[in-house]
Amino acid sequence: MVDIAQNLFSTRRGSILVGAAAAVLAAIILFAYLHAYRNSLNSSRTPASVLVAKNLIQKGTPGDIIGSTSQYQVASLPKGQLQTAALTDPASLTGLVATKDIYPGQQLTSADFAFAAPNSLQSKITGDQRAINLSTDAEHGLIGLIGPGDRVDIFGGFNLAGAGGNQAVIKLLFPNVLVLRAPLAGGSGILTLRAPMRQAAQIMYAADNGKLWFVLRPASGATTVNPGIVNAQTLLSAKPVH
């Protein structure tokens, strides 16, 4: 009987030890879970920067234009509120184009954009800006000497009919125009320029009814001085410029 009692006591003690060990292990697991959960909550509350649309960004809008025209703002939100693949760096918009309409207050995400075609003209114009092609030659258009990103002053030469006959005049028409594309050296070619819509119409008229000269501006520090209308009388009466 004594042996049986001892065996029962040993078995019971072993069960108690196993139960205690299991309880300790469960407590450790619970503590680790709670610790990780608390850290996760703290992390989700940590502020993070994200790009948010300031206005309606229409489908097809280039990311470069979104950035250069400040159509987004940088907002600070808890990490837990950031959408999947949310854009946090304005530089990430470069080379992209919107694939859907993005509404004011909406976070910008990589799912809203796709890579734009290289050298796409759409990435160079916005608002009332238009791209316009003009045919020119090496003499008048500086073919081979200007390239994309250069800025030019456009002069127009016209023959004005008067009582005394036709009179040739030249006038500065459009200063500081951006060149989007330019042909390589070797004769005539097509210049692609950027201009506001109203100015684009004026350039079309001038190209159809006169002769255009394209004068390269300095890359930096350029100033514009309007010489007025130049004809035989103003040219002969003008003082020499030193």
Distance CA 117, CA 134 (A): 23
Which of the residue ranges 32-46, 120-134, 148-162, 223-237 would you say has the lowest mean pLDDT? Answer: 32-46
Does residue 41 register a pLDDT over 50? no
Q: What average pLDDT does this structure show over 83-87?
A: 91
Among the listed residues 171, 169, 174, 157, the one whose alpha carbon sits nearest the alpha carbon of residue 217? 174
Among the listed residues 83, 81, 74, the one whose alpha carbon sits nearest the alpha carbon of residue 51? 74
Q: What is the DSSP string of 125-187?
A: --TTEEEEEEEE-HHHH-TTT--TT-EEEEEEEEEEEETTEEEEEEEEEEEEEEEEE-PPSSS
Q: Does the global pTM surpass 0.75? A: no
DSSP lists the bridge partners of residue 26 as none
The answer regarding whether domain 47-115 maps to CATH 3.90.1210.10 reads yes
Per-residue pLDDT band for 15 (boundaries 50, 70, 90) equals low
Please report the sign of the dihedral spanned by the C-alpha atoms of residue 24, residue 26, residue 29, residue 34.
negative
Distance CA 52, CA 109 (A): 9
Does residue 68 register a pLDDT over 90? no
Buried/exposed 80-117: b ≥16 CB within 10 Å, e otherwise: eebeeebbeebeebebbbbeeebeeeebbbeebbeebe
Give the domain ranges of the chain: 47-115, 128-237
Half-sphere exposure for 242 (CA within 13 Å, toward CB): 0
Cα 149–Cα 151–Cα 157 angle in degrees, nearest 5: 140
Please report the sign of the dihedral spanned by the C-alpha atoms of residue 16, residue 21, residue 25, residue 27.
positive
Does residue 187 register a pLDDT over 90? no
Among the listed residues 152, 156, 136, the one whose alpha carbon sits nearest the alpha carbon of residue 206? 156
Cα 212–Cα 218–Cα 223 angle in degrees, nearest 5: 85
Phi, psi of 77 (to 5 degrees): -130, 155
Distance CA 101, CA 193 (A): 28
Does residue 162 register a pLDDT over 60? yes
Is residue 226 classed as helix, strand or coil in its secondary structure? coil
Please report the sign of the dihedral spanned by the C-alpha atoms of residue 17, residue 21, residue 24, residue 26.
negative
Does residue 3 register a pLDDT over 60? no
pLDDT at 11: 59
- Mode of pairing for the β-strands spanning 47-53 and 211-216: unpaired
| Token reading at 166 | 């036709």
